[in-house]
Amino acid sequence: MIADASVAPTVPVTPAAAHAVRTAPAQVGAWRYTLYLPHSPLAPGVARALVRTVLRAHGPLALLDRAELLVSELASNAYRYARGSASLRVDWRAGVLRISVRDTSTELPQPPGPDTGDLSQESGRGMRLISECADDWSCYRLAGRGRQARGSGKVVWCELIA
C-alpha cells in the first residue's frame, strides 16, 4: 500500500512507535500457509512455531495462544495415530482462522463424550481440548483416486473466530 504524503498523518516515529507498528499487523485480505511435517516427535513444535510466526506477521494476535494449543494437539495426534507424514494448513479469511492437519490415518477421531471430562487423564483429552477451545471443528476422510490415492487419509480441522 502506498500512502500519499499529502493525506498521510504526520506522526513522529519513535522507537516505541516503530515497534508498535511491527507487532500490530493489519488483518487485511485472505492468506494461506502450508507446511509438510515429517513423522517426527519434533513436528508439533515446528507446527506451533509456524502458527506463532504467521500470526505475529499477519494477526490477529488475540488468537495466538489458542491457535498454538490447537495446532499442537492436532499435530501431536497426527504423529501419534498415523504412520506417515502430515501437512498443516493455516488459512485466514473473513475473520476466521482455520487450522487443518492432514495425515495418513483413515481413522477419524471421536468427538469427546460426557465421560471424557477429566483433563488430568493421559489419553483422550486432546479432542476435549479442541472441542472446548475451538469455535468449530470437524474431520473427514480423504478418498483419493489415481495420483491422490497415495495421499489418502483424513483431515482434522478447527476454526477460531476473531
Residue 124: Cβ-neighbour burial (10 angstroms; 0-12, 13-18, 19+):
middle
Which parts of 12-135 are beta strand (E)? Answer: 31-37, 86-93, 96-103
Is the CB of residue 100 less than 8 Å from the CB of residue 49? no
SS3 state of residue 42: coil
Distances (CA, A) of 151 to 93, 105, 106, 132: 26, 10, 11, 30
Could you tell me the pLDDT band of residue 52, with boundaries at 50, 70 and 90? very high
Is the confidence at residue 87, as pLDDT, over 70? yes
Residues 18-40 pLDDT 10s: 444 344 455 568 999 999 999 99
Distances (CA, A) of 111 to 83, 108, 140: 22, 9, 13
Residue 91: Cβ-neighbour burial (10 angstroms; 0-12, 13-18, 19+):
middle
Is the confidence at residue 42, as pLDDT, over 80? yes
Q: What predicted TM-score, i.e. pTM, was given to this entire model? A: 0.76
Average of per-residue pLDDT across 59-84: 96
Within 13 Å, how many C-alpha atoms sit on residue 33's CB side? 15
β-strand 96-103 against 136-142: which pairing, if any?
unpaired
